[in-house]
Amino acid sequence: MKIVINKCFGGFSLSYAGVMEYARRKKMKLYAYQNARDYNNDIINFCKYIPWDGVGREPLLLFYSTTPAVDGKLDDNAHFSDRDIPRDDPSLVATVKALGAKANGSFANLKIVTVPDGTDWEISEYDGLEHVAQKHKTWG
């Protein structure tokens, strides 16, 4: 079984290219947005979203939706987050394998690890740096 983890401090995330490749593999239509910005590219409104077309430097924060924004507002029920993708999703594994480092989000260094089929696993992390561990009982 293959699992995607993050191997640097920061945390798991996909780049815009990674999210869009994952969506393509899942046959999903996603729309990317960033916060409204002024002419200096500074955020001017945290509640209004403008489309981002993937051209130029990727913004630190991107928001994804399965439906287009209406008057700069996103439908809460249509929100998509890469952090909700199961780490053993074959489409995620294929995306990271196909894109390599281009799949990495802003503070990520994604790696595919292999564990024996049937292993009851979980991801453990410290400050975003992850490893896969076999689940076991713990008492607090």
Q: Where are the domains of the chain?
A: 2-134
* Average pLDDT of span 108-123: 96
What average pLDDT score do residues 77-106 get? 97
Residue 76, pLDDT > 80, answer yes
Contact 27, 118 (CB under 8 A): no
The confidence score (pLDDT) of residue 46 equals 85
Which residues sit opposite 32 in a β-bridge? 64
Query: Residue 115 has what pLDDT?
Result: 96
What mean pLDDT do residues 89-101 have?
A: 98
The answer to whether 9 and 92 are in contact (CB under 8 A) is: no
pLDDT score at 30: 97
pLDDT surpassing 90 at residue 47: no
pLDDT band at 40 (very low <50, low <70, confident <90, very high): confident
Per the prediction, the chain carries an average pLDDT of: 94
pTM above 0.85, yes or no: yes
Q: Which pLDDT tens digit goes with each residue over 5-37?
A: 999 999 999 999 999 999 999 999 999 999 988
* 21 exposure class (CB count in 10 Å sphere: 0-12, 13-18, 19+): buried
Residue scoring higher pLDDT (36 or 93) = 93
* Both structure tokens of 51: 């489309």
| Helix extents (H) in the chain | 16-26, 90-99
